[in-house]
């Protein structure tokens, strides 16, 4: 009898601890309590190791901080000098709320003289990346959430080794969880050749310092500080459509020339400092940009310490005509859910494309748990049928935001991401065109039919929704 009393007492103590600690985040509080009741002691141990608020393990010294901020201010000044005042005034007047938000946050500046190429076919994107790497003269900086030791990974490995032998400085970052299957032999071969490598948040280290939940989801390549690539593609054969379980892989990736590249570089080198402790501000990494492009672009780096949630929310609530969203994962913060419902009930055209073929069943059912409520409000939902949809694009009137951020809670608040806000009509129109191309190979979800889905599926959706703060 005594052991039962002790067990209940221990459970109550665990419940009280979670309630007190998570009272500011009721969604996570509820999710952790569900886990705790399902697996009492193990659930609390998971809570202890996974719920700690993010803290950067490497803090800049006062001297390093002053050096970085001085350099950052000079870089911002360089970019501001290149923006035609009439163009900026026009942009601000059209998108005043978004502009004000972006300037009030400690974000990166709007940049001019940019030229963007949009890739919807992975084969074309990887070809462009490999060709740019092959032309590198001074340095190559790469950062990916996932790197596979497969055919595509081998192509990158061999080319990087070749460039090191030619005297090019090569730095590579990968995420410890995303690339957990990357063999030691792959990494060792690169290191032996002279490639500098860093692992962002190694699993064992971050488990014991209780930071395992915070991952680096960015996908960045910068060549000679003059061309940058970013978007949704990682390095692996499945992104080329070679995984039979997914088939065709639909993604959105970008190459960028112009002053925005300086901030893609800045994002990479910030992560490099976090992992390696090397603060690199040499001007050779931030060269004069030679492109004659005319686009205004703002790079947005986000993470647990600087979330993108406010930007996503603002893009939705500021829309007057249309909101188009493509995302592989659709797990919403309550504020974003309310913003979408309010927008569509105000007469705005809201359309959302999600995968018809899921890669993660639990997340898929959680995504579906929002569908009925939003369909009833007037949102139009579509399931992509051609293969797996991995594109991450949000179009709000004449603005677009795209990059590595999924429309889910993890991307909003817990992962390091990098997106771009596009102010240029040419790029936005291209993304709108791609959106409608995807609509043509998607199946619209009818409310009457969706309401008749099996009870078992509804139960799965409820369960997945309860656990959504972990996705």
Please report, for the chain, the start and end positions of each structural domain, with discontinuous segments joined by +. Answer: 2-50, 62-96+108-295, 309-470
Residue the block writes with tokens 């930071």 = 211
Using CA atoms, how far apart are residues 399 and 249, in angstroms rounded to an integer? 25
Q: Can you give the pLDDT at residue 40?
A: 77
Q: Provide CB contacts within 8 A for 322, sequence distance 6+.
A: 348, 349, 350, 351, 395, 396, 397
pLDDT tops 70 at residue 92: no
pLDDT tops 80 at residue 317: yes
Q: Can you give the pLDDT at residue 407?
A: 96
Protein fold of 62-96+108-295: Endonuclease; Chain A (3.30.870)
Report the pLDDT averaged over residues 363-371: 95
Q: Do domains 62-96+108-295 and 309-470 have the same CATH topology?
A: yes
Which of the following is catalytic: 28, 141, 217, 253?
217
pTM for the complete prediction? 0.92
Task: Indicate if 27 belongs to the active site.
Answer: no
DSSP count for the chain of H helices, then E strands: 19, 18
- The DSSP letter of residue 19 is H
Q: Can you give the pLDDT at residue 79?
A: 84
pLDDT tops 90 at residue 64: no
pLDDT tops 90 at residue 459: yes
Which of the following is catalytic: 157, 163, 219, 257?
219
In whole numbers, what is the pLDDT of the chain averaged over residues? 89
Q: To the nearest whole percent, how much of the chain has pLDDT over 90? A: 65
Q: Can you give the pLDDT at residue 265?
A: 97
Using CA atoms, how far apart are residues 113 and 50, in angstroms rounded to an integer? 43
pLDDT band at 27 (very low <50, low <70, confident <90, very high): low
What DSSP line would sit under 419-443, residue for residue?
EEEE--HHHHHHHHHHHHHHHTTEE
Which of the following is catalytic: 149, 224, 398, 438?
224
pLDDT band at 89 (very low <50, low <70, confident <90, very high): low
Task: Indicate if 224 belongs to the active site.
Answer: yes
**Number of Cβ within a 10 Å radius of residue 459:** 11
Query: Strands 248-250 and 227-231, how do they pair?
Result: unpaired
CATH of domain 309-470: 3.30.870.10
Task: Indicate if 97 belongs to the active site.
Answer: no
| pLDDT, tens digit, 9 for 90 and up, residues 96-123 | 667 777 766 557 888 999 999 999 999 9
pLDDT band at 81 (very low <50, low <70, confident <90, very high): confident
pLDDT band at 88 (very low <50, low <70, confident <90, very high): low
Query: Strands 322-326 and 349-355, how do they pair?
Result: parallel
Q: Can you give the pLDDT at residue 396?
A: 96
Dihedral sign, Cα of residue 101, residue 107, residue 113, residue 118: negative
Which of the following is catalytic: 390, 414, 424, 434?
390
Taking Cα atoms as reference points, which of 216, 70, 227 lies closest to residue 147?
216
Task: Indicate if 392 belongs to the active site.
Answer: yes
pLDDT tops 90 at residue 206: no
Identity of the highest mean pLDDT range in 63-67, 80-84, 378-382: 378-382
Q: Can you give the pLDDT at residue 104?
A: 65
Q: Can you give the pLDDT at residue 95?
A: 64
pLDDT tops 70 at residue 170: yes
Using CA atoms, how far apart are residues 147 and 152, in angstroms rounded to an integer? 9
Using CA atoms, how far apart are residues 249 and 47, in angstroms rounded to an integer? 35
User: 68-72, 165-169, 271-275, 439-443 — which is least confidently predicted?
Assistant: 68-72
Taking Cα atoms as reference points, which of 423, 430, 396 lies closest to residue 112?
423
Task: Indicate if 52 belongs to the active site.
Answer: no
Which of the following is catalytic: 28, 163, 253, 392?
392
| pLDDT, tens digit, 9 for 90 and up, residues 288-305 | 998 778 899 999 999 988
pLDDT tops 70 at residue 23: no
Task: Indicate if 141 belongs to the active site.
Answer: no
Where are the alpha helices (H) located in 52-183, listed in sequence order? 62-81, 85-94, 96-104, 122-134, 151-165
Q: Can you give the pLDDT at residue 1?
A: 67
Q: Can you give the pLDDT at residue 96?
A: 67
């Amino acid at each position: 009898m005594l052991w039962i009393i002790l067990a209940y007492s221990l459970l109550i103590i665990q419940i009280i601890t979670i309630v007190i600690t998570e009272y500011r985040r009721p969604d996570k509080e509820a999710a952790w309590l569900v886990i705790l009741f399902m697996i009492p002691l193990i659930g609390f141990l998971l809570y202890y190791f996974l719920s700690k608020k993010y803290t950067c393990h490497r803090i800049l010294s006062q001297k390093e901080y002053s050096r970085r901020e001085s350099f950052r201010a000079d870089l911002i000044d360089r970019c501001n000098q290149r923006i035609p005042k009439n163009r900026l005034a026009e942009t601000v007047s059209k998108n005043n709320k978004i502009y004000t938000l972006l300037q009030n946050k400690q974000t990166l500046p709007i940049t001019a003289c940019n030229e963007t190429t949009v890739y919807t076919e992975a084969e074309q994107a990887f070809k462009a990346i490999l060709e740019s790497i092959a032309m590198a003269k001074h340095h190559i900086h790469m950062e990916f959430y996932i790197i596979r030791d497969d055919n595509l990974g081998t192509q990158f490995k061999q080319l990087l080794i070749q460039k090191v032998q030619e005297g090019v400085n090569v730095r590579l970052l990968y995420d410890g969880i995303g690339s957990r299957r990357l063999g030691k032999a792959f990494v060792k071969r690169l290191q032996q050749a002279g490639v500098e490598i860093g692992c962002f948040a190694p699993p064992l280290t971050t488990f014991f310092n209780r930071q395992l939940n915070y991952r680096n989801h960015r996908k960045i390549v910068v060549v000679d500080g003059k061309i940058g690539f970013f978007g949704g593609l990682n390095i692996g054969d499945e992104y080329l459509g070679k995984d039979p379980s997914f088939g065709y892989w639909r993604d959105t990736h970008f190459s960028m020339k112009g002053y925005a590249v300086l901030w893609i570089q800045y994002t990479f080198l910030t992560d490099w400092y976090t992992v390696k402790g090397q603060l690199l501000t040499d001007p050779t990494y931030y060269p004069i940009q030679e492109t004659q492009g005319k686009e205004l672009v703002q790079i947005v780096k986000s993470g647990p310490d600087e979330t993108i949630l406010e930007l996503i929310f603002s893009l939705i609530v500021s829309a007057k005509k249309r909101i188009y969203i493509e995302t592989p994962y659709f797990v919403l913060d309550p504020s974003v859910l309310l913003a979408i419902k309010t927008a569509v009930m105000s007469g705005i055209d809201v359309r959302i494309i999600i995968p018809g073929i899921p890669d993660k069943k639990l997340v898929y059912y959680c995504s579906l748990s929002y569908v009925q409520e939003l369909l009833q409000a007037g949102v139009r939902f579509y399931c992509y049928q051609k293969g797996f949809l991995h594109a991450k694009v949000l179009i709000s009137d004449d603005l677009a935001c795209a990059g590595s951020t999924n429309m889910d809670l993890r991307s909003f608040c817990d992962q390091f991401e990098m997106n771009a806000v596009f102010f240029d009509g040419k790029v936005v129109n291209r993304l709108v065109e791609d959106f409608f191309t995807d609509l043509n190979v998607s199946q619209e979800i009818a409310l009457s039919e969706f309401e008749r889905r099996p009870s078992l599926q509804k139960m799965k959706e409820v369960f997945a929704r309860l656990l959504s703060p972990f996705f």
